Each structure stands twice: as structure tokens, then as C-alpha cells.
Amino acid sequence: MTETADDLSAPLGQGAPRRKRRLRLPFTATQALAVLLGLFLVTFAGFAIFNKDPLGGEPVTRVAIREQKTPEDKAPAAAEPVAAGHDTKAPAKPASPGEQKTVTIIDGSSGARHDVVIGSEAGAKGEPAAAAPAVTTGVDKRLLEPSRYGMIPIAAEDLKPFNVYAAEADRAKAAKMPAVAIFIGGLGVGAAKTNDAIMKLPGAVTLAFTPYGADPGKLAERARAQRHEVFLQIPMEPYDFPDNDPGPQTLLTSLGAEQNMDRLYWHLSRMQGYAGIANFMGARFIATEAAMQPIIRDVAKRGLGLFDDGSSPRSVAPQIAGSQAMPFGRGDISIDAVPTPNEIDRALTKLESIARERGVAIGTASALPVSIERIGAWVKTLDSRGILLVPLTTAMLKSKSG
């Protein structure tokens, strides 16, 4: 009652002071910050998902690619944009007439590279330069045609891969003196041994690549850059197949011609720039006429040479290749059948004897370190003994003319 009486007796407007109420938010500052951060992340994720340019933000370069125009066509060439996300190494100036320049385009997300050739022989004649497809450097695009697996070699008018990709050689000199050729096979699988063969052996040594490995085409391109001529080895059925299996897409005697041809095209598409093909294993297949005939006929039509490594004494390749009038060669001796220094040296001496007797001899070997070392040392002594080292294509032509 006392508190009530006081309230009644207190003068108007002079009541006891009241406490001020503080305004309280329904959330803390930490909670507000978390909500703002969540909204930012949701907005960013939505932009990344629904934006139509997934490579946005990566460097973009524009390269002006100017074509040579005829007098009738004087419209200026527009600058062609390079796709977003690509870095480009381009020539500082447009290709002059008759000159070829290469632009290397690097995918910004995957790192993949491919070359685009700019300029052509047509430009030298005042004609517009046709857009060149992206093909391996040093490969004549006129000698390629598409297949279901990729580009494969083909003869074009009077041009043949055997002639275009043959290594340079003094054929007049080779015709007058004993000549030897060395064929190193099994390359492309195992970058270390492949690089040893490319870099440690002279350019006159022919290198043969199997279609397997991560990128046999790139290694073959490196070999050509070192002046080696290149052959492609085609896996064929051995007598003890499948216990001894050359690998995927092997040509088999149990398959029909159409199936084997399809497998052949898979192998042919694995790389470009080779002068011919050779068997990889295949003692049974290369001795079976019904299986070999359609393969050799197709290879001859494509302007390629054929090399038989000599591992099958019953091979029918010489007779069929002869009927097709195509470049052909056969191995005379396996240099590293016994891979020891002494046996390799003995095989090389025998190869010299065959060359003196017949005028030309072909030895085959693998890229074993001991083989590369002994062959490299032997090659340096040939001049003093009056024997000429020649590429396989030169030996094949000399053998045919003899």
C-alpha cells in the first residue's frame, strides 16, 4: 500500500524515473556475418554453374590471320579470335606468299597443344591460301585421308609417302659401293629407350615405332627432326598366339579380310609421316597368303613401302610385294638376337660380309642400351672399311634394282 500511496501523493509529472529499455536484435553480429558469407557463396556458385562461358577469366588472345587475296577479292581479312582459354604462340607478321607459318594453340584448361599451319603454296601463285587442317609438323596433308579412326596415309597423284618421307641419302654413291642399313624396331613404348635411339644413333639409321604407347606420333616427329626416317610396325599373329600376344588390334589369320583391314586402319592412324610399314612379330600371319594379300595390296595402293624383318622363313611377303611392284625389303640378320657385346659385334661383322657379297645388307635390332652402344661404335668405323651406311628406303631401292 505504501508504494501505491506514494504514487497518488506525488506531484503530477514528477513520478519516479523509469529505466530505459535497450533495443535488442534477434541475432548476433557473428550470425549476421555468417549469413552474408553464405549468400556470397551461393551467388558465386550460381554464377559458375549457369554462366555460359566456363573458361571465363582465362587469357584471351586475338590473332590476325591474313590471307593473300586475288585482285577480284580485295576484302580485308578479319581478325579471327582464338577460343577463350587458349594461349597462342603466333608469328610476329602474316605469312608471306609461299611461306608456311605455324601457330601453336595451347588449351588453357587441359594443356593440350596442336599446330595450325598458315600459308601454302597456293599463296605463292596469288591464290587465296586454303585453311590448313591441324596436322603434325612436317607431314604433307596431301598424303592423308580420313578414316573412322583418324587420318591415314594415301598416295596423291605422283606423290607417295615412301618417297616423300624417305631420308636423304647419296643413292648414286650407294649404287657403287657396299651398303648396309640398320632397322631399330619396337620404339614408342618406353620413352627413355626411344629417346636414346633417336639421339645417340646417326640419322641414316631407320627407326620403327609400334602403334602403342601414350603418344607414338610425338616421338616419331622427334625422330624425323633428327633426320631419321620412320616406319610403322603392324602387330601380326605369331605361331604361339595367344600365349605370345603382340597387343591390341593384332592382325589374325582367324579374322576375315574386312576385319583385318579395319584393324590395319586403326594402326595406320596412330601416327603420320612414315615411309612404310613392317611386321611386328607375326610369323604365322606373314606366312599366310590369304591373310597377307589384301593387306599388302592396300599398303601398295597407299604408296607405302613394306619391310619384312626376316623372322619367318616361310614369309609370303616377297612374292606378294613383287606382284604389286612396291618398294620391299627384308632383314638379313638380327643383330641383337643374343644381346651381349661380343655377339652383337659378331653379327655386325657378318652384316658387313653380306653387304660385300650382295652389294647391300639390312640388319634389325631393338633399342637395348647394349645394342645402341655397339651399333653406334660400329657405325663410326664403316668409312675406313669402304662400307656406306644408308637409310632403309635406300637399301630397299638398291635391293630391288639389283
Kindly report, residue by residue over 221-230, the tens digit of the pLDDT.
Answer: 999 999 999 9
Query: Could you give the C-alpha distances from 310 to 91, 281, 286, in angstroms and in order?
Result: 48, 10, 10
What was the pLDDT predicted at 109?
A: 40
Co-location of 239 and 363 in the same domain: yes
Is 99 among the domain residues?
A: yes
What was the pLDDT predicted at 26?
A: 64
> pTM here?
0.68
Confidence of residue 280 (pLDDT cuts 50, 70, 90): very high
Is 141 among the domain residues?
A: no
What was the pLDDT predicted at 33?
A: 76
Co-location of 272 and 382 in the same domain: yes
Q: Mean pLDDT across the chain, nearest whole number?
A: 80
What was the pLDDT predicted at 82?
A: 38
Q: Closest by alpha carbon to 181, among 326, 398, 400?
A: 398
pLDDT of residue 113 exceeding 70: no
Co-location of 260 and 300 in the same domain: yes
Is 313 among the domain residues?
A: yes
Number of domains in the chain: 2
What was the pLDDT predicted at 17?
A: 52
Confidence of residue 46 (pLDDT cuts 50, 70, 90): low
Query: What is the extent of the structural domain holding 69?
Result: 62-134
Confidence of residue 393 (pLDDT cuts 50, 70, 90): very high
Q: Pick from 134, 151, 179: which residue ends a domain?
A: 134
Is 273 among the domain residues?
A: yes
pLDDT of residue 397 exceeding 80: yes
Co-location of 112 and 166 in the same domain: no
Co-location of 119 and 195 in the same domain: no
What was the pLDDT predicted at 36?
A: 78
Is 214 among the domain residues?
A: yes
Co-location of 364 and 234 in the same domain: yes
Is the distance from CB of 187 to CB of 208 less than 8 angstroms? yes
CATH of the domain at 213: 3.20.20.370
Is 37 among the domain residues?
A: no
Is 116 among the domain residues?
A: yes
Is 47 among the domain residues?
A: no
Q: Pick from 119, 134, 149: which residue ends a domain?
A: 134
Q: Pick from 99, 134, 169: which residue ends a domain?
A: 134
Contacts of 49 (CB under 8 A, 6+ apart): none
Please tell me which residue, 16 or 333, carries the higher pLDDT value. Answer: 333
Co-location of 77 and 200 in the same domain: no
Co-location of 128 and 169 in the same domain: no
Lowest mean pLDDT among 33-47, 170-184, 284-298: 33-47
C-alpha atoms less than 13 angstroms from C-alpha of 102 in its C-beta half-sphere: 11
Q: Closest by alpha carbon to 80, among 122, 120, 131?
A: 131
Is the distance from CB of 117 to CB of 104 less than 8 angstroms? no
Sign of CA pseudo-dihedral 271, 182, 289, 158: positive
Co-location of 265 and 355 in the same domain: yes
Lowest mean pLDDT among 45-49, 123-127, 143-147, 256-260: 123-127
Confidence of residue 391 (pLDDT cuts 50, 70, 90): very high
What was the pLDDT predicted at 157?
A: 84
Query: What mean pLDDT is predicted for residues 201-224?
Result: 94
Co-location of 91 and 207 in the same domain: no
